[in-house]
Structure 1
Amino acid sequence: MPSTPSVRRLDRHYIAMQVGFWAVFAAACIYQSYLLTERGFSDAQSGLLISIRCLSGILCQPLLGGFADRHPQIPLRRIVALSLGLSLAAALVFLLVPLGFGGTALVLVVMGGLELSSYPLMDSMAIQFINAGMPIRYSLGRGIGSMAYALCCAALGWQVGRLGVESTLVTHAALLALEILLVATFPPFQGAAEGARREGAPHSALWLLRRDPAFALMLLAILLGLTGCLPLSNFLLQVVTSRGGTEGDLGLVLFVMGAFELPTAFFFRRLYRRLGGGRLLLLSLFFCLAKAAALFVSGSLTGVLLAQPLQMLGYGLFTPTSVYYVNDSVPPEDQVKGQALMMVASNGLGGVLGSFFAGQTLERGGPNGMLLFCVLSCAAGVLVGAASLRLARRT
């Protein structure tokens, strides 16, 4: 039996994996709407293609998470590395082969499904060690990952201004190859948490939702909130240019946004112990609403920049809270599936609906019409989240 790795090694390696994933995510996503319009697609078509990319994650994540729960003898790192390897193959096709709408949609299905599905499994790789008593600093890794996202956004803004938006595809492929190497070399888990996955047979996603109605209602709140929140990043270019900025300014705005996610890492555990997962999720949805409203009333690039610190208690707080919330709410044998359900409700289905409706409202009502939709969707998420907390207190 291999020796147990040190906490320091696990911390450093997991932080490197977070850095790699969020750099990949930035390269794939922040200029995707601009890339698609440069390839001749309309705003509505771009929104539909981005929705398709997110929809593939909805279909793939429960399948991949269920497979991991049913086959605990297969290391999670192997499943994740293979998924990312297939995504890299699709990324190279997207880079090298001219594609129409159908071909682009097919490539995005593969890339989106496998890249988005890899993240909850990466979370589970850390949670295995945390549940076994090894204090991996997950929130710190997530915060440093956000800083990597911010730095990558700034670098990509410079890159697009000098080399064109197509060059982001080369950066994405190179970063994805590096992330595959990091995942494949992560220390394998051997211990009590793996045994806990074998204590009982894993349940279906429907069983998990029926078992805890408050959990199911919170997932609905997250779906509504993220439907309004994610377009604030995916279609931020249109907001920036409507407020007097340029394509290059998008990198600066995203750098500020990502940088303000880092401080969350230093006070997250204290907040979680004091307020608990449900209240923190509701708080994060409220700040997503506040950011959407701030962007709606902004009248200049300065106003857009001043709205970005709200990210700290919005999406920046949501990501680590959602992982710990699922870990506290779902039986051990269903942990991977539970993380996948959370990702489906947030970045998956929330990304699909957000991108689709944002694309439609952007084409019909411009950036302000899109931002009004985001405000209303986030507000609905806050209301449903409050209802979930009331239901949890009663039950």
Structure 2
Amino acid sequence: MNSLDGQQNRPSFRRLDHHYIVMQAGFWAMFASVVAYQTALLLERGFSNGEAGLMTAVRCLAGIVCQPLLGGFADRHPEIPLKRIVTISLLLSLGAGAWYWLSPDMGLWETALVWVVIGGLEVSSYPLMDAMAIQFINDGVPIRYSLGRGVGSMAYAVVCVLLGLQVGSAGLESTLLTHLLLVVGEAALVASYPAYRGDRRASQQTGPKPQSALSLLKSNPRFTLMLAGVLLGLTGIMPLSNFLVNIVTSRGGTEADLGLALFLMGASELPTALFFGKLLRRLGSGKLVMLSMLFGTLKGVLLLLTTGYLGVLLVQPIQVLGYGLFTPASVYFVNESVPEADRVRGQTVMMVASNGLGGMLGGLLAGCTLDLGGANLMLAGCIACGCAGTVLCLLALRKNTWISSFQNRPNGV
């Protein structure tokens, strides 16, 4: 298909842009409804902090396994629209969510199975949703990805505060019904998104074939080192949201108060969309990833210094330069750092290292430290991991500088 045909058959820029922004909002609303209150719900169902941490790890481990499988399947079958893969994943997760809602007395193993499905299919669908937009962006369509991510953060924030009110009036179990309704809505949004028809998803595509994840890591040491930094950094950063309920209650708040803290955390990510483009042009995606690790770690330091619930609320706006900056920066970093044929897999590998492995190890770290020494010990462990991750990200940037300097040296020097 030539470029003229592609322009004629492609949906309008406005529709692609607006639909994607709404789809981002739907995903993060859905995500908030099941993940933001995961720990609180597990604790109410009688599980210990360690078991709640284990369930977080199970959810993230499922993503680690399923994300590369979904990404690899998408790369090997370009004739299948990405939206079809995502829609089917969401519908399968809907069934697991319904079982979870209807069985409040299920044991540890049944609960683990539910989180395997939700983590492996629902949460893991996000990299493919990113790829749905990146395909059009790479083809010259001005989809405002960072704005979509910012609106998604606001949707997360609004849903969290509404869930806080819902928990106060109807209990934690009611959040599961809200989750089911939001999954249905998001599946409808994904299914109705226009499928990409450009050359890059054509089944007769020629050129370099996608590499395996291992080959991609071996051939790109800077990318690999940055992934290691992100892994350690997110190990320290993810518990600050996944186990925020423990921090809130340790500072005198309640489970209902968690909603306001989550609202401020999510809403603080929205301003990132307003200045992300300028930061990207000025600093580059790699430096922005490193800065997100730095400020995410600083958030842990500030939370450790708080003595009351008000202090927890006042710390949340630092999210604007922490996790709020990481998500769009990491997407652009992958897009700039790996070959074109490997971009879907590259996005998947990044999600595995961050929300996958980082979330899994962060859940285990939080569960163990909370049982051993409470919220302050958890925060100390998070700070240590965040510092190590920031240093590795900085080394990845330095490594790129060293390589460029070596390549630019005159022959014989």
Q: Tell me if TM exceeds 0.5.
A: yes
Alignment-derived partner of residue 104 in structure 1:
111
Report the secondary structure of 1:67's partner residue. Answer: helix
Query: In 1, Cα distance between the equivalents of 2:148 and 2:269?
Result: 11
Aligned with 2:60 (options 54, 66, 72):
54
Report the secondary structure of 1:248's partner residue. Answer: coil
Structure 2 counterpart of 1:321, one-letter code? A
What is the aligned-residue RMSD (CA, Å)? 1.2
Asked if residue 82 in structure 1 is aligned to residue 84 in structure 2, the reply is no
Aligned with 2:254 (options 232, 243, 246):
246
1:198 positional shift? 4.7
- Count of aligned pairs between the two proteins: 395
Alignment-derived partner of residue 229 in structure 2:
221
1:256 positional shift? 0.8
Query: In 1, Cα distance between the equivalents of 2:319 and 2:122?
Result: 23
Query: In 2, Cα distance between the equivalents of 1:284 and 1:50?
Result: 22
Query: In 1, Cα distance between the equivalents of 2:82 and 2:52?
Result: 33
Match runs of 1:1-395 below 5 Å: 3-97=9-103, 98-195=105-202, 198-395=206-403
**TM superposition score normalised by structure 1:** 0.98
CA offset digits 1:204-239 (Å, max 9, x no partner): 001110111111000000000100001000110110
* Partners of 1:197 and 1:334 within 8 A in 2: no
1:3 positional shift? 2.5
Structure 2 counterpart of 1:183, one-letter code? V
* Partners of 1:56 and 1:112 within 8 A in 2: yes
Structure 1 counterpart of 2:114, one-letter code? V
| Unpaired stretches in structure 2, ≥5 consecutive residues | 404-413
CA offset digits 1:172-216 (Å, max 9, x no partner): 110001000000000111113325965321110011101111110
1:21 positional shift? 0.4
Structure 2 counterpart of 1:40, one-letter code? G
Query: In 1, Cα distance between the equivalents of 2:44 and 2:28?
Result: 24
1:247 positional shift? 1.1
**TM superposition score normalised by structure 2:** 0.94
Query: In 1, Cα distance between the equivalents of 2:64 and 2:35?
Result: 17
Query: In 2, Cα distance between the equivalents of 1:73 and 1:394?
Result: 41
Query: In 1, Cα distance between the equivalents of 2:209 and 2:330?
Result: 24
CA offset digits 1:341-381 (Å, max 9, x no partner): 00000000000000011011001110001011111110011
Give the 3 Å change call, closer, same or farther, for CA 198–296 of structure 1 in structure 2. farther
Report the secondary structure of 2:210's partner residue. Answer: coil
1:255 positional shift? 0.7
CA offset digits 1:47-67 (Å, max 9, x no partner): 111110110000000011011
Query: In 1, Cα distance between the equivalents of 2:205 and 2:162?
Result: 41
Query: In 2, Cα distance between the equivalents of 1:40 and 1:202?
Result: 46
CA offset digits 1:80-108 (Å, max 9, x no partner): 00111111111111111341111110111
Query: In 1, Cα distance between the equivalents of 2:106 and 2:183?
Result: 21
1:246 positional shift? 1.3
Query: In 1, Cα distance between the equivalents of 2:140 and 2:55?
Result: 43
* Partners of 1:197 and 1:333 within 8 A in 2: no
1:264 positional shift? 0.4
* Partners of 1:129 and 1:193 within 8 A in 2: no
CA offset digits 1:228-275 (Å, max 9, x no partner): 001000110110111111111111111111111000001111111111
Query: In 2, Cα distance between the equivalents of 1:77 and 1:200?
Result: 24
Query: In 2, Cα distance between the equivalents of 1:81 and 1:204?
Result: 25
Query: In 2, Cα distance between the equivalents of 1:184 and 1:288?
Result: 34
1:392 positional shift? 1.2
Query: In 1, Cα distance between the equivalents of 2:351 and 2:316?
Result: 23
Query: In 2, Cα distance between the equivalents of 1:12 and 1:339?
Result: 22
Query: In 1, Cα distance between the equivalents of 2:205 and 2:312?
Result: 45
Query: In 1, Cα distance between the equivalents of 2:387 and 2:82?
Result: 37
Identity %: 59
Report the secondary structure of 1:247's partner residue. Answer: coil
* Partners of 1:120 and 1:340 within 8 A in 2: yes
1:302 positional shift? 1.4
Structure 2 counterpart of 1:181, one-letter code? A
